[in-house]
Every structure is written in C-alpha cells, then in structure tokens.
Amino acid sequence: MYKKLIPLFMILLILVMALPAMAITFGEPDGDAHPFVGSIVLQFPDGGFFQACSGTLIAEGVFLTAAHCKLGVMTDPNFVGDSKIWITFDPTIDLENGTNYQITLDDWETHPEFPWKFVMYDLADVAVILSDEFPTNVGYGQLPTAGLLDELNSQGILRNTRFTAVGYGTVRDSLKKAFDNIYENLDRNRVEQGFLSLTKPWLTLSMNPKTGSGGTCYGDSGGPHFIHLDGQETKIVASITVSGDTPCKATDKTYRMDTETARSFLGQYVDLP
C-alpha cells in the first residue's frame, strides 16, 4: 500500500484500503534483477522526500501500480505547492544523481470503479501511470492470461507455487514486537513467498520467514508478485501488493491481475495475453 496512512477524515472504506503500504521483509537487495520494477517517490518543496509506492513497467510508457497509491498522494497533507512526483527504476533511490522520471497526477489512470466495486470485496485497486519518458531499455513485466490462478488452483498446482515479491520501502529485520523492527529503506529488494489462499479478487501469500517466506511492508503497494511456473520465476505479474497484516509479519493480501476486473481496465493500455 501507500506508505503513509490516509487522513482520518476519509470515509471508513478508504481508510480500510489504506492499511499497510507494504515493502519487502526478510528479503535481499534486488540489484539489477528486476530493472522494470520502479518506485514512486514524493519530493516536497523543502527538499524532503519519501518512497510512497512501487510498480512495474509492463509496456512502453505504461507503469502498473495500485489505485490507492494515487489517493494516498492526493490526500497527503505534505503534498502541496511545488511538490513533485518521481518514478525511478534505479536499484537505489537517488533524487540527486539517479535517473528519475517526473510525473504528475494527470498521468495517473485509476480503475473507474475504485474503490466502489463491492463484489466479494473487489475494490478494483489497480492503476497505470502513463509517460513517454519512461525507459525502453529495461524490459517489461508481463500480465497473466485470463484466469491463470484459477486454472492452477483447479489442477492442484497453486498450493505449491512460489512467488517473488519485488519493491522498495520499509524493511523488517525481526518478528519481535510490532513496529519496532521496521526501518526505512531506499533499495529495491526481492523475496520469495509461498501460497496461502485464493478468492475471486485476491491472492493471499505467506510472508512469515518461519515458513521459508518473507513479504511486503510499508512502501510496496502496487509492486509485483511474479509467479514461478515449472519451478522458475517468470516476468508474469500474477498480482500486485495492496494490503496485509499491519505489522508486516504474516500475510500478504495481493490483488489479482488475471481477473476480468483487472483485465478489462488494463486492456485499454496494453495488449492482453
């Protein structure tokens, strides 16, 4: 999710959707392994900045992320005046010397039904950011075929399937206590995850290192979960980070990209598989 909580005056539904903003926990630096995964960074007039959300370049000029990330930016009390929004694909965020791409809120297209779609709690939390300035030499993530996760689930394959979460944002180094071991972070990180459950809109993944997994935490909303097929990680973004348990310890609730809700929206901007 978005890295900061949305102000208390927002309606209850939006507050619920703005829980953990998610970033990688118990993972490792990604380096150049996923150069098409980027970070959305807010820079304020006083020079201060923070990493807000993550996302994936899925086609030329098309950056996939979560719809609630735009909502978080719009309602951030610090986002005023000459504030700027950047996207970087560098392994480490560096607004002074890195390669950064400035965007505006007008470049952001959110699903028209977000957050009012209530079919099995499907809130249509998907968006794209469009810019002709994005790099064309870093490769692209891929979208899944329609109903991919349902097909794997019906075959009994999904329960043993692994996923790789990638993103920027806060990290956790211990399961002790709640927020005491969550730290700020500027690096792109990755971690493998195991399957927990599947519903019509949601793929829930384990992020408990005791079961051989890590996961996401504050700052990874919109970031990809790449599915492993035949034992190998692919570039297929099976789902994107949306929420999870608040202290980033156990479960990762991700929004599926193989559903009709997601595909009907994304098909306006990219060719669907």
Q: How far is CA 179 from the centre of its chain?
A: 20
Q: CA 79 to CA 104: how far, in whole Å? A: 12
Instruction: Give the pLDDT of residue 11.
Output: 31
Instruction: Give the pLDDT of residue 245.
Output: 79
Can you give the pTM of this predicted structure? 0.91
Looking at the chain, the whole-number percentage of residues with pLDDT higher than 90 is: 66
Q: Please, what CATH class does the domain formed by 1-273 belong to?
A: mainly beta
210 or 162, which is more confident: 162
User: In the chain, which residue ranges form alpha helices assigned H by DSSP?
Assistant: 12-17, 67-75, 148-154, 260-266
3-class state of residue 215 by DSSP: strand
Residue 252 has φ and ψ, to the nearest 5°, of -120, 110
Q: CA 66 to CA 112: how far, in whole Å? A: 13
> For 62-99, what is each residue's pLDDT tens digit?
999 999 999 999 988 888 889 999 999 999 999 999 99
Q: What is the rounded average pLDDT for all residues in the chain? A: 87
Query: Are 227 and 236 contacting, i.e. CB atoms less than 8 angstroms apart?
Result: yes
Instruction: Give the pLDDT of residue 3.
Output: 58
For the chain, the structural domain boundaries read: 1-273
Q: Is residue 14 pLDDT above 80, yes or no?
A: no
